[in-house]
């Protein structure tokens, strides 16, 4: 059986990565977020909206930690393509299938980078008149130039570096890694 390190080397060739957030830490934090969301939505039936493709692993683990009735839908947007950084252009590839007027929505992201995607989703979803709209992300990049996009539930705050694994991809690959990996710092002098 191949290790995650072997898979990383096969796909990325020369780039070196190391575990940044372990599978155990992801599980622990997901459980905490699930409990917090369940407390906040007690007596309500929220719709969890997964943002495809990256959030599907986090969403699946998160809703198993939310012991209240809920619904699930998905939308798909594009802002990265096959690049490591956002293109800055956001477009809708798949709209919601459910009726959201007067409903409680929780949008689930894998990572929030510039905040452009959050602003875009907030605008299109708000126009559909939900009762409430909250955002949860597994990872929030700490950037000086981030666009103001309040996130209600944050798993981990991370540096402005390229990360992969646990749903996060590189050219649609490596989503299946159980941990989150970050590029190793080069020792260039």
Q: So which residues are the catalytic ones?
A: 113
Length of the chain: 189
Which of 126, 159, 153, 161 is closest to 137 using CA atoms? 153
Q: How far apart are CA 176 and CA 179, in angstroms?
A: 9
SS3 assignment, position 151: coil
The continuous run of DSSP H or E covering 61 comes out as helix 56-63
Q: Is the dihedral of CA 105, 113, 81, 118 positive or negative?
A: positive
């Amino acid at each position: 059986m191949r290790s995650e390190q072997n898979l990383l080397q096969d796909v990325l060739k020369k780039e070196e990565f190391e575990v940044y957030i372990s599978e155990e830490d992801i599980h622990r934090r997901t459980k905490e977020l699930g409990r917090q969301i369940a407390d906040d939505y007690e007596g309500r039936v929220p719709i969890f909206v997964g943002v495809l493709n990256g959030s599907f692993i986090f969403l699946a683990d998160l809703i198993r930690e939310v012991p209240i009735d809920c619904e699930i839908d998905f939308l798909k947007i594009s802002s990265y393509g096959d690049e490591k950084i956002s293109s800055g252009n956001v477009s809708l590839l798949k709209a919601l299938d459910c009726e959201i007027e007067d409903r409680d929505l929780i949008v689930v992201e894998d990572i929030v980078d510039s905040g452009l995607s959050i602003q875009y989703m907030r605008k299109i979803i708000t126009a559909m008149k939900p009762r409430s709209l909250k955002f949860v992300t597994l990872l929030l990049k700490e950037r000086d130039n981030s666009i103001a996009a309040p996130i209600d539930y944050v798993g981990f705050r991370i540096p402005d570096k390229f990360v992969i694994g646990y749903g996060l991809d590189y050219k649609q690959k490596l989503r299946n890694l159980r941990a989150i990996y970050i590029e190793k710092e080069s020792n260039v002098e």
